[in-house]
Chains A and B, each alone.
Chain A
C-alpha cells in the first residue's frame, strides 16, 4: 500500500460522495458505517458500501471501512457483508483490549475462510478511544499480525476522559505520543484524529504539522477541502530530502558491500533512520518532487 497521508471519512450512505471519492485527491477513504449512520439506516449504508466495493473502480485509492463495534448488534452483519468485498482494512472502533482485536480477527478470519479469501487479507485498524485502550495500546497493536495501524478517536477519547476537546489539543498530547510510540514499537502505522472545524484550514495545518513531528503516518479528515492542508503538512523539505538521499544511498552501498553499519556526515545511521529516509523519498514521489535533482 502507498503511504496514506490523508484519510477522508465518507458516510456509508452517501453514494454521491463515494462515487466522487477518486477525484477528491485523498490517499485513502474511510467509508463509515458507525457514527455517521443512523440506527435505522445501518442496513442500507452497509449495502451501499458493499455494492460499491464490489462494482466501483476506486483507482489508486486505499479503501477502509469503519464498521460498528463488537458491542453492537451490527458488528457481525458488518463483517459478514464487508469482508467478502476485500476492503484494504476495517477500522474497529473502541478497542480497549487485545481481546477486542482478537475477537474481530477471529470473526474476520472465519469470514475469509468461508469466502475463499486468504486469511489475513483484510487488515485491522484499531481505534483507541478510551483511557483503558490507551494504557493497552502496544498490546492492542501487537495482538495479531492483522493489525496494520493504530488510530486515535479524539472525540470519544476526550469524552471518556471527561475533558473538553480543544483546538490546542493539549488534552490529546499524551495520548498521541503514546499511540505513536506503541504503533512504532509494534511496527504498524499510526493515524491521527480529525480536525473538526472545516472553516479553519490554518488550524488544521498547524495541528497536522504537529502530528507529523510526533511521527503519525497520516491523519483522518471529514471534508475534501481539508486534504490539501494535510498533504502540505506532510511534504518533506528539500533539506530533509537531501539528507534522506545521502542515507539511502549509503545504506544501499553498505548492503552491496556486505557492511552492517553505516555513517553519513560522520554520524552513525541505524535501520530505523534508513527506513524513515526511504519513507521520505516515497513521500517525495507523491508530491512529484524530483529526488534525482536534489
Chain B
C-alpha cells in the first residue's frame, strides 16, 4: 500500500482517538495523550503490526489518544491508511 496524501480517521471523543497518516520516508510515530507513557510501547507495537500487514514502508503517523483501546486504534489507523492510499480521493 502506497500513501498518496495525508488522511485522518477517528474523533477527539473519550474512548476514541484521532489518527492522521502522511506519506513519508520511513516510519515515524507521534503518539499523544494523557497516558502516552503507559501505552507508548503497546501503541508502537500495534502501529508497526498494522503497517506491516498493509505493506506500508513509509508513513508519518500521529495518534491523539483519548483513552482508546487497541481495537479502536487499529480500526482508526486502518481507515486512515486506506483513505490516504485511495486513488482519486481528495486531499
Contacts and interface: CB of A to CB of B under 8 A. Distances in A.
Interface of A: 13-16, 19, 43-44, 47-48, 50-52, 55-56
A53 to B, nearest CB: 10
A55 B46 CA distance: 14
16 contacts: A15-B15, A15-B71, A15-B75, A16-B15, A16-B16, A16-B67, A19-B71, A44-B10, A44-B76, A44-B79, A47-B9, A47-B79, A52-B71, A52-B75, A55-B70, A55-B74
Given A43-B83, A51-B75, 19 more contacts: A14-B13, A15-B15, A15-B68, A15-B69, A15-B72, A15-B75, A16-B13, A16-B16, A19-B15, A19-B69, A43-B82, A44-B75, A47-B75, A47-B78, A47-B79, A47-B82, A48-B76, A55-B70, A55-B74
Interface in B56-90: 67-72, 74-76, 78-79, 82-83
Nearest to B67: A16
A290 B8 CA distance: 53
Interface of B: 9-11, 13-16, 67-72, 74-76, 78-79, 82-83
Contacts of B14: 16
Contacts of A13: 11
B14, B78, B79 — which one has the most chain A CB atoms within 10 A of its CB? B79
Contact of B9 (A44, A52, A55, A56): A44
Nearest to B8: A44
A56 B71 contact: yes
A50 to B, nearest CB: 8
B89 to A, nearest CB: 11
A51 B70 CA distance: 10
B30 to A, nearest CB: 21
A47 B71 CA distance: 10
Contacts of B10: 44
Nearest to B14: A16
Q: List 7 tightest A-B contacts by C-beta distance, closest first.
A: A16-B15, A51-B75, A15-B72, A48-B75, A44-B79, A47-B75, A47-B79
A39 B89 CA distance: 15
Contacts of A47: 9, 75-76, 78-79, 82
Contacts of A44: 9-10, 75-76, 79
A48 B82 CA distance: 13
Contacts of A14: 13
B16 A51 contact: no
Nearest to A46: B79
A43 B78 CA distance: 10
Nearest to B69: A19
A292 to B, nearest CB: 42
Contacts of A55: 70-71, 74
Most buried by A among B13, B70, B71, B75: B75
Contacts of B67: 16
A55 B74 CA distance: 11
Given A16-B14, A43-B82, A51 B74 contact: yes
